[in-house]
Amino acid sequence: MIFPEKRHLQLPGPTAVPPRVLRAMERPMISHRSPEFAQLVADITADLQWVFCTTHPVYIINGSGTAGLEAAAANTISSGERVLVVVGGSFGRRFAAIYQAFGANVETIEVPPGKAVDPQQVVEALTRHPDTRVVAVTHHETSTGVLHPIEEIAKVVHRHSDALYVVDAISSLGAVPLQTDAWGIDVVVTGSQKALMTPPGLSMIAMNERAQKRMEGSTAPRFYFDLRTYDRSLRNNEQPYTPSISLFFALNEALHMLHEQGLEAIYQRHVQLRDAFRATVRAVGLGLLAEDAIASPTVTAVTPGNRDLDIQQVRKQLANLGVESMDGQDELKGKILRLGHMGYTDALDLLTVAAALEMALIHLGVKGIAGVGVAAAEEVLLHV
């Protein structure tokens, strides 16, 4: 028997929400025009600046991460301007589609699934298209488990163009190092439902002075996602429209938890969980889509490897054991399973997943693997 409340939500998102964050949402409703809410906005903004590693404004809007990407696009271009987008999977493809919806002339750098973009490819594309106004990159391509080298890309973008550099950090911020100001990233977008351990429904956008100047001149149509409105409101610690107040309570509590752990400890925990799970996958004879050097600390994409089995049957068996993973997307649909290990995930959660993966394979007829996946994970977790 599986108790529904004990299911292990190991998805690429949404991720599990800590009990204290859920309890924060039970607070009585308050007015979004009250001094109490203004203080809440001020506190959250300061904590978000800490997580984003920026001194610039961070705008919060109602909507999932895609809403944040749309706001970033609508406020950084005018119709007909050229945008260069790195496409290494489903979410890079979505970013390109969003810019196209706002009338951009979109050029893409196509990267095979499971591979990371080479910064030299960005240099070559900028050389071909010197009129590029925006370069957009997905930090962690959630559909493949690949982490793109956004720090190195920032250097070449600024060296070879005056384009704005826009980064989708929806499934990386709060789990993977990202120095918004120090690396020269003009716009960074994230969502509440990943490493920030908050239910879906909020997206956050950090913008530096270059991006704010571009925002003032952008002629793309926008109203609810017009970040100029959010900027004016933020100066008074307000929101321009009725916000999801309970989610603000939750986000505030989740950010407190991040402060208690410290960013460096959080980054190290995610690397350790990634390495432990990858060790488990190898030990039980399955394959990994991404190479170690570019593997994300937040999501791992698993292939059948050399085993003659249906990877979706592995997902089904994991679900029967109470562990929820995710299918591949687009060209990878049915070919991989994606398992998240970010946010409210610790070593014991990872060992549970390792044991469940062994049992799932044993149910499918694989022999001689009992205990080997767990032992491989333990070996990593014990050698910090």
The predicted pLDDT at position 30 comes to 98
What average pLDDT does range 202-209 have in this prediction?
Answer: 98
For residue 109, the cross-strand partners are 86
Domains detected in the chain: 19-260 (3.40.640.10), 263-382 (3.90.1150.10)
3-state secondary structure of 281: helix
Per-residue pLDDT of 267-299, as tens digits, reads: 999 999 999 999 999 999 999 999 999 999 999
Distances in whole angstroms, Cα of residue 43 to Cα of each of 38, 40, 131, 252? 9, 5, 40, 8
Per-residue pLDDT of 3-49, as tens digits, reads: 777 889 999 999 999 999 999 999 999 999 999 999 999 999 999 99
Per-residue pLDDT of 54-68, as tens digits, reads: 999 999 999 999 999
| Distance, CA of 177 to CA of 262 (rounded, Å) | 12
Per-residue pLDDT of 90-119, as tens digits, reads: 999 999 999 999 999 999 999 999 999 999
What average pLDDT does range 352-362 have in this prediction?
Answer: 98
3-state secondary structure of 14: coil
CA gyration radius, the chain: 21
| Distance, CA of 247 to CA of 22 (rounded, Å) | 9
The predicted pLDDT at position 34 comes to 98
What average pLDDT does range 173-186 have in this prediction?
Answer: 98
Per-residue pLDDT of 237-250, as tens digits, reads: 999 999 999 999 99
Question: Above 60 in pLDDT, residue 1?
Answer: no
The predicted pLDDT at position 254 comes to 98
The predicted pLDDT at position 7 comes to 87
| Distance, CA of 200 to CA of 72 (rounded, Å) | 18
Alpha helices in the chain (DSSP H): 19-24, 35-52, 65-74, 90-101, 119-128, 150-160, 209-217, 227-234, 245-261, 263-283, 311-320, 347-363, 372-382
